[in-house]
């Protein structure tokens, strides 16, 4: 199956934080078109593919993306329009070669990934299959993922004193995706009531979670266990488990980790995580240590990797080369997957393949700056990775992904849960 692109267009739009991002449209020979909205992160790894921002302080405090849009409408349109492509990999390869940098900095990873996402939709439409089916690798069984709802926000995602960035609930024991979404919504509502009853504000952070003025992460975990119980569920892997994304790079400075007024070493942090999982039903910890603390990551994995999932995000940035190094060094046992971290869908799928081959888990993820685009719901389903995080069961740009999963489940019978 080949594909000819007849038009490529990008416009500057707003993401869920009110910051500029790109919306990309590809036109096809039959007169139809496909679209993609480009996500953007706040807490980012230093080795991520590079977003192209305008730097003009007179527009959006320098965060405009008119240059990136211009690169889509100009150089990338000239490169792609009228050519016949045999597959998505050929489209992505052409853009990577045209950019000519290791980080997609010249044309902008935000420009390239928007075209790549739209092109994947175009190939799916041409094949007459749902996007999730097109994204399913050979030999992989699609699976509806366990949603990880970010119900309490801290760190770079909220204006509070909480150092850990994300506290998530994961209905691992739910019998279906629809029941998992129900559990997430009901626990979220119970948590709102519990926080309000204790006098905490229930305003929302970037990803729809509550942002209470709580210092100690253990106090949040206690509230989560109570809310899970209040909603009528069992805390733990047979019911609703908890996942953490401390985003430790954000509170690592001067050679130490600064949490709730304490300065901790790598080994201190590992000991604190061990104490947490002894007391609370935490099944997954993402970015528990800073991205440069490779020796700490290795010790963390040795000590806790048989008991829970150790996920690399800032450490790995969805990069096949870095993931290969981490697998060899046994630094972690799972990878967070963000399409805009690496910049093309082809490279994203390659990273996920490396993880599968090594026995590593994968969790597909949104960014703090999102659009209504539901691409990652199809990606998580098609690749059968079994895990997706895309924020709280609140705010339209987050709920859109969960609703897409419900639609997929309603239309196609397939397994739900961790692989």
- Specify binding-site residues for Mg(2+): 245, 286, 313
Helix (H) or strand (E) holding 350: helix 345-358
Among residues 338, 347, 401, 409, the one annotated as catalytic is: 338
Distance CA 39, CA 17 (A): 11
The pair of structure tokens assigned to 330 is: 């046994």
CA triple 225-230-233, angle to 5 deg: 75
Inter-residue contact 361 to 121 (CB < 8 Å): no
Query: Which residues line the annotated binding site for (2R)-2-phosphoglycerate?
Result: 165, 338, 367-368, 389
Helices (H), 148-263: 177-197, 217-230
Which neighbouring-strand residues pair with 311? Answer: 286, 334
Going across the sheet that includes 252-253, the strands are 252-253, 256-259, 262-264
- Four-CA torsion 351, 357, 361, 364, nearest 10 degrees: 30
Residue 186 is among the residues annotated as catalytic for this protein: no
Residue 207 is among the residues annotated as catalytic for this protein: yes
- Of 206, 21, 228, 249, nearest to 113 by C-alpha is 21
Distance CA 271, CA 268 (A): 5
Distance of CA 84 to CAs 2, 24, 127, 215, 259, Å? Answer: 6, 19, 15, 56, 54
Residue 59 makes CB contacts below 8 A (sequence gap 6+) with 66
Inter-residue contact 181 to 402 (CB < 8 Å): yes
Query: Which residues line the annotated binding site for substrate?
Result: 157, 166, 286, 313, 365-368, 389
Give the three-state DSSP class for 145.
coil
Query: Which residues line the annotated binding site?
Result: 157, 165-166, 245, 286, 313, 338, 365-368, 389
The pair of structure tokens assigned to 281 is: 């039903």
Among residues 12, 186, 207, 397, the one annotated as catalytic is: 207
Which sequence positions are flagged as catalytic? 207, 338
């Amino acid at each position: 199956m080949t594909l000819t692109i007849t038009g490529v267009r990008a416009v500057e739009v707003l993401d869920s934080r009110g910051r500029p991002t790109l919306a990309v449209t590809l036109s096809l020979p039959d007169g139809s078109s496909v679209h993609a909205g480009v996500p953007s992160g706040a807490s980012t790894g230093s080795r991520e593919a590079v977003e192209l921002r305008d730097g003009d302080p007179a527009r959006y405090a320098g965060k405009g993306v008119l240059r990136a849009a211009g690169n889509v409408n100009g150089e990338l349109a000239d490169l792609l329009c009228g050519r016949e492509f045999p597959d998505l990999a050929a489209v992505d390869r052409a853009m990577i070669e045209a950019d000519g940098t290791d980080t997609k900095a010249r044309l902008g990873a935000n420009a390239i990934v928007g075209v790549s996402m739209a092109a994947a939709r175009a190939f799916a439409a041409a094949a007459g299959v749902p996007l999730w089916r097109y994204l399913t690798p050979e030999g992989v069984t699609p699976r509806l993922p366990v949603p990880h709802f970010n119900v309490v926000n801290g760190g770079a995602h909220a204006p509070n004193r909480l150092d850990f960035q994300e506290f998530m609930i994961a209905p691992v024991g739910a019998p279906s995706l629809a029941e998992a979404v129900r559990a997430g919504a009901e626990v979220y509502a119970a948590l709102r009531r519990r926080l309000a009853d204790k006098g905490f504000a229930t305003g929302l952070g970037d990803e729809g979670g509550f942002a209470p003025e709580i210092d100690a992460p253990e106090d949040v975990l206690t509230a989560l266990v109570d809310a899970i119980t209040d909603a009528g569920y069992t805390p733990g892997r047979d019911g609703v488990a908890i996942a953490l994304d401390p985003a430790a790079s954000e509170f690592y400075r001067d050679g130490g980790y600064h949490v709730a007024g304490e300065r901790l070493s790598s080994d201190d942090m590992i000991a604190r995580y061990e104490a947490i999982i002894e007391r609370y039903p935490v099944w997954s910890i993402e970015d528990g240590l800073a991205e440069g603390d490779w020796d700490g990551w290795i010790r963390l994995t040795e000590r806790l990797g048989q008991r829970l999932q150790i996920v690399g995000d800032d450490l790995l940035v969805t990069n096949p080369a870095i993931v290969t190094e981490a697998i060899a060094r046994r630094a972690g046992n799972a990878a967070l997957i963000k399409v805009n971290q690496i910049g093309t869908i082809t490279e994203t799928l390659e990273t996920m393949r490396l993880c599968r081959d090594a026995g590593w888990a994968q969790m597909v993820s949104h960014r703090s700056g999102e659009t209504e685009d539901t691409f990652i719901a199809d990606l998580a389903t098609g690749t059968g990775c079994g895990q997706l995080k895309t924020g709280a069961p609140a705010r339209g740009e987050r709920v859109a992904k969960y609703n897409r999963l419900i639609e997929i489940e309603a239309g196609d019978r397939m397994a739900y849960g961790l692989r």
